[in-house]
Amino acid sequence: MTYQTLISASELKSRAQYLNIVVVDCRHDLTNPAYGREAYAAGHLPQARFAHLDELLSGPKTDAAGRFHGRHPLPDRQQFVQAMRDLGINNDTQVVAYDAHGGMYAARLWWLLRWIGHSDVAVLDGGMAAWQALGETLTSETPAPAAPGNIQDLSSLVKTVDAQALLDNLKSQTLQVVDARAPDRFRGENETIDAVGGHIPGAKNRFFKDNLQADGHFKSATQLREEWLSVVGDPQAAVMQCGSGVTACHNLLALEVAGLPGAHLYPGSWSEWSSDPQRPVATGN
């Protein structure tokens, strides 16, 4: 049995010894980039390896021509494949990603592995808290260096769009854009991260935290499906975005859990879109 969306803490505990598995700690803090590595050193799941959002799960913010592509652009594809090999991931490895933030960073690794065609990747539902709730302990011991993995760059399991496609969509309205940021930032209020407040015209707002129950676990597939169908009629014609392409992956994961696959990611998201004054900006609801 493999896991391709979520895995519970109890499933991880009971099946880890039978699975070819690599556990990856994805904790991060957007305001303190050193936090994740420090938290990992203080205590992590046994045998877990660490992946830094800025270093492994993102690429340079500007390209060779100096064009800004957002705060967390996609990494170079081949460099990402090599980084996953360095973590010991093979083509047949079950990857489990976790964080302590409801999956907001772990979902980025989940999406990126699907981007290079690796389907057997799941987010630990409930994260570290769920693991500790079982009475399981953390460790500060760093696992021995992994034997290099052989994961390959295969056909992508996901879809993306760029800023030009969304500019064209302003006229055609064939794609429904969904913004994963908090409602106040979507409205253009309390913007503290990007230079301009607001959202892409025509976008709807679905705060990624609305995918979760109060205890930090994902809502049931049935509830997620009901809620998401009120946002997007056809997921194949939907585009998920957020501030920088990270929490949008949480919405993409929720759609998969709900049985509504096929939505696109706009990797540059609001940070890229708002950096060009020629692109229109909407505010309010």
Q: Label residue 18 by pLDDT band (50, 70, 90).
A: low
Residue-wise pLDDT for 166-187, tens only, equals: 999 999 999 999 999 999 999 9
Q: Is the pLDDT of residue 266 over 90?
A: yes
> Which residues are the active-site residues?
242
What is the fold of 6-133? Oxidized Rhodanese; domain 1 (3.40.250)
Domain 159-273 - what CATH class?
A: alpha beta
Average pLDDT taken over every residue of the chain: 96
pTM for this predicted structure: 0.97
What pLDDT score was predicted for residue 195?
86
Tell me the DSSP string of 197-238: --B-TT-EE--GGGGB-TTSSBPPHHHHHHHHHTT-S-GGGE
Q: Enumerate the domain spans of the chain.
A: 6-133, 159-273
Give the pLDDT confidence of 74-129 residue by residue, as tens digits.
Answer: 999 999 999 999 999 999 999 999 999 999 999 999 999 999 999 999 999 999 99
Q: pLDDT tens digit string along 188-237?
A: 999 989 989 999 999 999 999 999 999 999 999 999 999 999 999 999 99
Q: Where are the alpha helices (DSSP H) in the chain?
A: 9-15, 35-42, 77-86, 106-115, 127-133, 163-172, 183-187, 221-229, 248-257, 269-273
